[in-house]
Amino acid sequence: MAVEVCVKAATAAPNVLGDCPFCQRVLLTLEEKKVPYKTHLVNLSEKPQWFLEISPEGKVPVAKFDDKWVPDSDVIVGMIEEKFPEPSLISPPEVASVGSKIFWAFFTFLKSKDPSDGSEQALINELKALDEHLAGHGPFIAGEKITAVDLSLAPKLYHLEVALGHFKKWTVPESLTHLRGYTKLVFSRESFVKTNAAKEYVIAGWAPKVEA
């Protein structure tokens, strides 16, 4: 029995998978566990009525378990783990929050119009902390095997790379070799390639926030 998941459709391309890192996290979890699933692409700029009935807040992802629709990627991933425990993707508690501040630091820097406001340095500090962690524990955050913390962080790092490359002509510093190796490793995984939004849709998704 396949799990049903509602995910974001691409901006201006309603039949193509869109650029939501939280949706990708859910799809990655299903792929890594080899759980059969069916995706429903939702056009978030014109939300259909059927979708608002199952997700009154109009947010994705939502997933269906036992005839009940469940919102929030944290909750969904937890339920997938519970219902399909093999292979386990549980991250050891001591690494569960590694990299958790990167997405907000990226967003702040992306929106920043003032080069002297410290937002770039704040992002570099977070990325440096991740690089140092990977230097001692890699290749993945919890060591030899991929776990939930990687599946949450990897889509956000992809958005960071694409959006900052496009809007700010910015790249992750060359000196962060462990982080660069990590992104290369994760982005090339079959599960990631299969669930990833094309770069132009990531750029289209961030454009309104950058221009705001």
Domain ranges in the chain with CATH number 3.40.30.10: 3-83
The pLDDT of residue 2 is 84
Outline where 8-147 has alpha helix (H): 21-32, 49-54, 73-83, 102-111, 119-137
Which pLDDT score, from 0 to 100, does residue 11 have? 87
CA distance 4 to 37: 6
- Per-residue pLDDT tens digits for 79-119: 999 999 999 999 999 999 999 999 999 999 999 999 999 99
Residues forming the active site? 20
Question: Which CATH class, in words, describes the domain spanning 93-211?
Answer: mainly alpha
Stretches where the chain sits below pLDDT 70 are: none
pTM: 0.96
Domain with CATH 1.20.1050.10 in the chain: 93-211
Instruction: Write down the pLDDT at residue 50.
Output: 97
pLDDT of residue 184: 98
CATH superfamily of 3-83: Glutaredoxin (3.40.30.10)
Peptide bond into 61 cis (omega under 30): yes
pLDDT attached to residue 106 = 98
Handedness of CA 71, 74, 75, 77 (dihedral sign): positive
